[in-house]
Every structure is written in C-alpha cells, then in structure tokens.
Amino acid sequence: MHNLFIRYTCLLLIILFIVMLARKIKIAYPILLVIAGLALSFIPYLGSIELEPDTIFVIFLPPLLYEAAWNTSWKDFWKWRRVISSFAFLIVIVTSCVIAVVSVYLIPGFTLAAGFLLGGIISPPDAVSASTIMKNLKVPKRLVAIVEGESLLNDASSLIVFRFALAAVTTGTFVFGEAALSFVVVIVAGVLTGLAVAWIFYAIHRWFPTTTNIDIVLTFLTPYAMYLVAESFHFSGVLAVVSGGLFLSVRRHSFLTHRSRLQGVNVWEAIAFVLNGFIFILIGLEFPVIIKSLGPGGLAPAIKYSLIITGVLIVTRLASTYGALFFTMFISRYIKTADSSPGWKAPLLFGWTGMRGVVSLAAALSVPVTLQSGLPFQQRNLILFITFTVILVTLVLQGLTLPALVKWVDMADPDYTISLDQQRELVRNKLSKNSLQLLETKYKEQLESNDMLKSLKLKLSADIKSGRDPASENQDAENSSRQIYRDTMSDLLKEQRNLLITLNKKEGVSDDIIRQQLELLDLEEEKIRQHFDAQEP
C-alpha cells in the first residue's frame, strides 16, 4: 500500500509537469498525457500500475459526469436537445450496428454479439479532450454546447448497449423485444432515480444547518449516491448522475451560499483536473500491457483490424453529422427547429470532435475473462487492443488536427451579432445602472448621511462611465487605459499583501484579522481578473 501511494504520487507530479508543458507548447493536455503514458510504460516502477474496471466506473466516472453536468448550460442544452439526444442515443446505436457488422466481416471468428459489444465500447466520444482543445480555439458556442451535451448522454446509451451485448455474449441468448423494453426501463428509471436522490440532497442543503465545508463534502457524496443507488437496481447510473446533476445545477443559487459556490467551484475544478489527468496517462500506461496479452503472432493483424475500425468509426460519425444536417433541413419544413440551415461547416467540425476516452476505457476493461459456461472469452484481448488503439488514434489524430481544421473552416458564430466581450460590457453596464437607480430611489435618505453608500454611488457612476461602448472607434486607447488600471490595481494589491504580512509579525495584531484581510484581497484580485480577463484560455 505504501509503495502504491508513492507510485501514484510520482505519477501525479509527472501529470502536473506534462500539463504545464502542454500549456507551454499549446497542445491539449489529454493528448500529451496519453503519449507520455506510453513512454512511461517502459519504466518498470510505473509500468506495473494496472487499472481495475470498478476503479474507473465507481471512483472516476460519477464525479467527472457530475462536474460536467454542473457546468452545462441548461439553456443551451434545452435549445439543442434534438441534436444532442439524436447523437446521444440514435447515432450511438447506429454506430454500434455499423461496428458490429464491419467487425464480423473483418475479423475471423468474431460473432455478432461480440461486434455489438465492441460497438457499445467505442461508440461514445469523450468531451474532455474536445472541450479542452476547443477552449483555446475560436469556435461557435453552439458547437461546444452540443459536444458537451452529447457527452453527458451518450455514455449512458453506449453502456446500455454494452450491457445487453455482454449478456448476449456470456449467456449466448438475446431476445430483441425484451432487450428493447429493458433499454427504455433502464433509461427512464435511471433518470427518475437521479432526480429522487438529487431532491434528497437538495433538501439537506436547503433546510439543514450546513456550513461551507459541509456543503462541499455533500456535493462530492451526491454523484456517488446517485450512481450507486441506480446501479444497485440495475438502472443507468450514468443517467442518474447526469439528470440529478442538471437538476441541482439549475437550482444552485437557491440552496448554496455564495461562499459555498465560490469555494466549491475551485475545489471541484482541481479534483476533476486530477481525475482526468490520471485517466489519460493511465491509458498510455496500460497500452503495452494489452499488446503483450496478444502475443507476437497476433499483433500485426490486430493493428490492421484496429486501424480499419478506427477509420470506419470516424467516417460513420462524419456521415451521421451530415445525415443530421439533411434531416434538419427537411424536417424544418414541418416543425420549428433551432437552426433550419446549419451549413456544411458545423457538421464537419462536430464530426471531427469524436475523440474517445474514459468511458470506452472503463467498458473495455470490464469485459470478463471467461464466459458464463466457464470457457475463456477468446476475443477479449483483441477487443481491448482495438479499444485502446481507437482511443489513442482519435486523440492524437483528431486532437492534433482539430485546431488546423477550425482555422481552415473559419466558422463565424451564428448565434451572436456582437462579440462576447461586448456582451459582457453591456451586461455590466446594465447591472451598474440598475444598482445606481435602486440606490438613488430606495435608499435616497441613507445615501445623504452614509459615507460608505456615497462611495458606492461614486464607484457605480465610474463603472458606467468607464464601460466600453461596443461601437467605440477608440478601442486601442480604451484597452491601454484599462491595462494601466489593471496593472496599477495589481501593484496596489501586492503592496497591501506585503503590508499585511509585515503587520502579522507584530505581537499586537491578530493572525485571524490578517488572514481575513488577505482573503478579501484575493477576492478583489479575482474580481479584477474576471472583469478584464474572463476569456483567459
């Protein structure tokens, strides 16, 4: 246990340095982590780390899904619900069918049930890689919303396909009508279970005397409770976490204090970052182990099968995106759609974001070694190799070429006539005006005698006057003025910190007071950063 802890600590330090390197050379860190994992696998001390399926499903998956649901815009999710649901359910099933048919004809001795098993494993794209790459690119907001929304639901549908295919492989029986009914029950019951557990935690947050630390700990218990309760009844744990996460996310301002939200976001970002880092580097570390299990004679054909299936997977996703385009153009004649004419650029970009990741990895590792009859599962090692190859190739090939594709396509954002910076300034200006109007009407009497309210009025007036006009022609001068203000405030905050640290060395000053003032300076610096640099990659 002690040795294992040391190895994972070393691995965490390596992950941090690789992510810093990825930021330096401007490459999405999941890609570099997988490549680094391959290199590290040749080091005996680290290469001996092995992944257990339950570790990924139970420890990694619930918090990662919950964090993604928590950060998903419900407004965007609902707006693009038809596209998201079609790719999360219908396209996943279509992809599984295509992979099943191709693998049966391509691989000798491969059964249709094993083909569906493979299809269920590799059909869901992973949004972490795509989101990490697109965060630094100029892509339409709708594309990011659809990719992230799809990833929330397609994991569930692919795992359901995987579950039924695995049952068919291990038992040798499959009844379509029974499976179709079970498919619906698993989905509906999973959603209802997630909502029920979410409501219980909502009530605990809302009506019990919680503190900030208790709130944050409860948010970590929530996804595990949703997942484990749903899975104990053989419902979809993934959909339980997603539906419950969306339910609580929309209501976060009604049951969490501002301090719980502020601290919770920071803690969750750090935890999700660490979990994702471990997942992607462990993908690279596990790949040589899978190669060894094939034996020397099975490597060459396995590589051929893997590359062909990867190509089929990429083509199928691109064909599905353009099929959805033509269907949208046709159906918009009869019903109202979010966009009746998406154009050719959006389907191309969306189709190229199909990198595979954590769910495919977990599903592949959970394939049993033996069948229910006690006989060995002959295709298990090949399925593992194909899955790892698909993850590796899609991450490296599509991940590295996506920035160039985005630049070549040069797709303007069709949803906004003004830039996000201009929208931000308009919103801030309206907030300042509204606050100033409320101050001058509701608190008119207090304003005359309260110096702090007078200062607040001056600040709001200054905010309104310094607000950037979207149509301004003196943009360079305004940017220069804002940068001077930011640099000055940073310097002032730095000097204030130094003064507080100096005061803390004196006996007559309480350390608690100093810490409180330092926290206020941190909040002020964060406010300035968000005000001027909210789009920092």
For the chain (537 residues), the mean pLDDT of every run of 10, in chain order, is 76 92 85 86 69 73 88 81 83 89 90 87 79 74 83 78 77 61 84 95 93 93 95 88 91 84 86 87 80 74 92 93 82 71 82 84 78 73 89 88 87 66 67 77 78 76 62 54 70 79 73 73 74 52
| Top-tier CATH class for 52-409 | mainly alpha
* Cα separations in angstroms, 154 against 88, 331, 515, 519: 4, 23, 46, 41
Phi, psi (degrees; rounded to nearest 5) at 508: -85, 5
The pLDDT value recorded for residue 29 is 85
**Any idea what DSSP says for residue 90?**
I
- As given in the structure block, the two tokens for residue 531 are 């005000």
Task: Give pLDDT, residue 73.
Answer: 79
* Among the listed residues 341, 356, 346, the one whose alpha carbon sits nearest the alpha carbon of residue 321: 346
Residues 16/21/27/28 CA torsion (nearest 10 deg): 0
Q: Which of 388, 395, 394 is nearest to 287 (CA)?
A: 388
Q: How far apart are CA 77 and CA 73, in angstroms?
A: 6
Question: Smallest Cα–Cα separation from 265: which of 531, 526, 533?
Answer: 526
CA distances for 437 relative to 219, 451, 465, angstroms: 38, 18, 15
Provide the 3-class DSSP secondary structure of residue 505. Answer: coil
Predicted pLDDT at 472:
47
Tell me what percent of the chain is helix, strand and coil, each rounded to the nearest 5.
80, 0, 20
- In sequence order, the β-bridge partners of residue 370 are 376
Q: Which two tokens stand for residue 245?
A: 């996460």
Q: What is the pLDDT of residue 317?
A: 92
Q: Is 278 helix (H, G, I), strand (E, B) or coil?
A: helix
Alpha carbon of residue 176 to chain centroid: 33
Q: Are 359 and 385 in contact (CB under 8 A)?
A: no
